[in-house]
Structure 1
Amino acid sequence: MRTRKLYLGPLTDNRRWDMVTIRPDDVFVVSPPKCGTTWMQTIVALLLSGDPDIETELSVKMPWVDIRVREMAEVAERLEAMTHRRSMKSHTPMDGLPLDNSAMYLCVFRHPLDAHFSYRTHVRNIPMSWFDIWYPEDDPDGVTFRRFLDGGAEGFDGDAMPLAHILRHYTAAKAVADRPNVALFHYADMKRDLAGTFAKVADLLGISHSAAVMERLVQAATFDNMKQNADRYAPSGGKGFMKSDSDFFHSGTNGKWHGKLTGAELAAHDAMMDAHLSPEDRAWLEFGSDSENARA
């Protein structure tokens, strides 16, 4: 029997998965925060429904099982009562999740520095003050980036998403990527070819829609449409959880760190990336399938 790693932080607890009975056609969306999780969940919701106007209600219909703010018994009961094909979200690395041979796992990644700077914006938009320890609003000494580099992959640190946690996500997913039910996606590729991403996910899930329907589904999942309709597409959108649903979709751009880090900070980041990843893996984790052109 496969032994799962423990990921227990102030916000998440992967032991909660013990209360979920996995079904053969379940769809897991697995990624570090701010790497395209909500985007991939939306793509899955649109493909499963075939309806570009579907009310996704991701936090209820496609729940984040790891998060401790909801009673797990209630989440498990809601999942068990679902009669449609289910999808669930996790920010736990693959080595901490139940790995079923029939369920589908869609693992989404983004350049770690883009994810980090997006997370900086995100923590200012949510009512969880413990993030202030890692992400002080006034940070002239660069404490936030030092903690990004120094933090561990597990425990309290993990929920604050340091680089070590992102690297653990990637190496854990890569370790099982040879399975037919595990697929890796990159945010940059999704931006470059959203229609191609839809086609790939549809194929993995065994779903088929007409070309006209697919075109409408793709349009619904564009950044501009999701931001303009943030109360529908943001997690817990329209419920007042975040200060601004629209700001959850902040910019959707790459290269957020340009001009914001010192040479020493970039060198420290590069050293850590090179120490843990091969040149090929680093290139993919940063830039996706178009890594050569992106580095140029």
Structure 2
Amino acid sequence: MTERRLYLGPLTDSRRWEAVAIRPDDVIVVTPPKCGTTWMQTIIALLLSGDPEVETELSIRMPWVDIRLRDLAEVAARLEGMAHRRSMKSHTPIDGLPLDDRAQYIAVFRHPLDAHFSFRAHLHNTPLRWFDHWYPEPDPEGVTFRRFLDGGPEGFDADAMPLAHILRHYEAARAVADRPNVALFHYADMQRDLAGTFARVAGLLGVSHSEEVMARLVRQATFDNMKANAERFCPSGGKGFFRSDAGFFDSGTSGKWQGVLTEAELAAYDARMEAELAPGARAWLEFGDGDGDGDGDGDGDSDGEAGTAAR
């Protein structure tokens, strides 16, 4: 990937990566919002430290480079001053990032409808008002879901996370997934087998810990523990940014759309997905592998028939 795509919205700016000098052992987590970013960052922090009590403080120690709310010079200087192995996050599709063959890129995906409903809850838990007209509350006319289906993958729309932006993330990640330093994970596989996820990430990072330590690290990263200790695990936790730190973790469940979307809305979503993705690719994006190894050969409803939203 020699030419980077520009992603520029009210919240993010992919050009900010130009201020970061990538190191050979950097770990960059690349996801659409609300697809398991914080979860994966926490797993990485625990594995790199080997300390179940490590202070994650993700927004400072593992910064979101793209976000325009933080002074870029300060972020770049802080990263440059880190003597330990670094990890960063991005909500920019991977074709907008500097892709260095020496660094490790971890892309995490989630069923688009679950990500959408989690993002709805997330926005109402923040003080940011830029997207109120996209996410009105209440919304008896279904404006939010229409914009989710109709929004574009770039510009202002991208930061509001429509389906097109999630698909752009997926398209860009799949295009480089054959590289040894790019790995794809799915939220559903992480839910099914957290210990297996830890083992796979540890292999990518080249770190190892005893069985006893690994078991303790895994317990720290369970949803219930992270939500119960939200001030520790939530980005900017304990600093009053979110209305509720615990609310950042929402429910951690799948199938959030069931019983909420109308048959017409589900049909419109299915039509978009069928038009954009082959059945196997769609099945993985929605339900994961089932075996958690990220290679797409698992039992994640790969026949495509079960990949409909109504399932």
Q: If the TM-score is normalised by the length of the shorter chain, which range does it land in?
A: over 0.9
Correspondence for 2:30: 30
Separation in structure 2 between the aligned mates of residue 68 and residue 20 of structure 1, nearest angstrom: 14
| Residues 284 and 301, structure 2, Cα contact 8 Å, conserved in 1 | no
Task: Give the ranges of 4+ consecutive aligned residues of structure 1 lying more than 6 Å apart after TM superposition.
Answer: none
Specify the code of the residue in structure 1 equivalent to 2:209: H
User: How far apart are residue 292 of structure 1 and its match?
Assistant: 2.2
Correspondence for 1:254: 254
Separation in structure 2 between the aligned mates of residue 139 and residue 63 of structure 1, nearest angstrom: 33
Correspondence for 1:95: 95
SS in 1 for 2:132: helix
Correspondence for 2:205: 205
SS in 2 for 1:29: strand
Moved more, 132-141 or 78-87: 132-141
Separation in structure 2 between the aligned mates of residue 74 and residue 265 of structure 1, nearest angstrom: 44
Correspondence for 2:280: 280
User: How far apart are residue 118 of structure 1 and its match?
Assistant: 0.4
- More helix per residue: 1 or 2? 1
Correspondence for 1:17: 17
Give the alignment's Cα RMSD to 1 decimal: 1.0
| Residues 62 and 89, structure 2, Cα contact 8 Å, conserved in 1 | yes
Correspondence for 1:108: 108
Q: How many residues align?
A: 296
Separation in structure 2 between the aligned mates of residue 240 and residue 44 of structure 1, nearest angstrom: 25
Specify the code of the residue in structure 2 equivalent to 1:286: E
Alignment of 1:223-242 (within 5 A): 223-242=223-242
Separation in structure 2 between the aligned mates of residue 138 and residue 189 of structure 1, nearest angstrom: 33
Q: 2:301 aligns with which of 268, 289, 292?
A: 292
Specify the code of the residue in structure 1 equivalent to 2:184: L
Specify the code of the residue in structure 2 equivalent to 1:156: F
User: How far apart are residue 131 of structure 1 and its match?
Assistant: 1.6
User: How far apart are residue 159 of structure 1 and its match?
Assistant: 0.2
Correspondence for 1:175: 175
User: How far apart are residue 220 of structure 1 and its match?
Assistant: 0.2
User: How far apart are residue 288 of structure 1 and its match?
Assistant: 0.2
SS in 1 for 2:254: coil
Separation in structure 1 between the aligned mates of residue 211 and residue 133 of structure 2, nearest angstrom: 49
Correspondence for 2:295: none
| Residues 29 and 37, structure 2, Cα contact 8 Å, conserved in 1 | yes
Separation in structure 1 between the aligned mates of residue 241 and residue 138 of structure 2, nearest angstrom: 24
SS in 2 for 1:183: strand
Identity of aligned residues (%): 74
Specify the code of the residue in structure 2 equivalent to 1:268: A
Structure 1 residue 131 corresponds to structure 2 residue 124: no
SS in 2 for 1:4: coil
SS in 2 for 1:289: coil
SS in 2 for 1:11: coil
Where does structure 1 lack aligned partners over 5 or more consecutive residues? Answer: none
User: How far apart are residue 130 of structure 1 and its match?
Assistant: 1.1
Separation in structure 2 between the aligned mates of residue 279 and residue 257 of structure 1, nearest angstrom: 21
TM-score, normalised relative to structure 2: 0.94
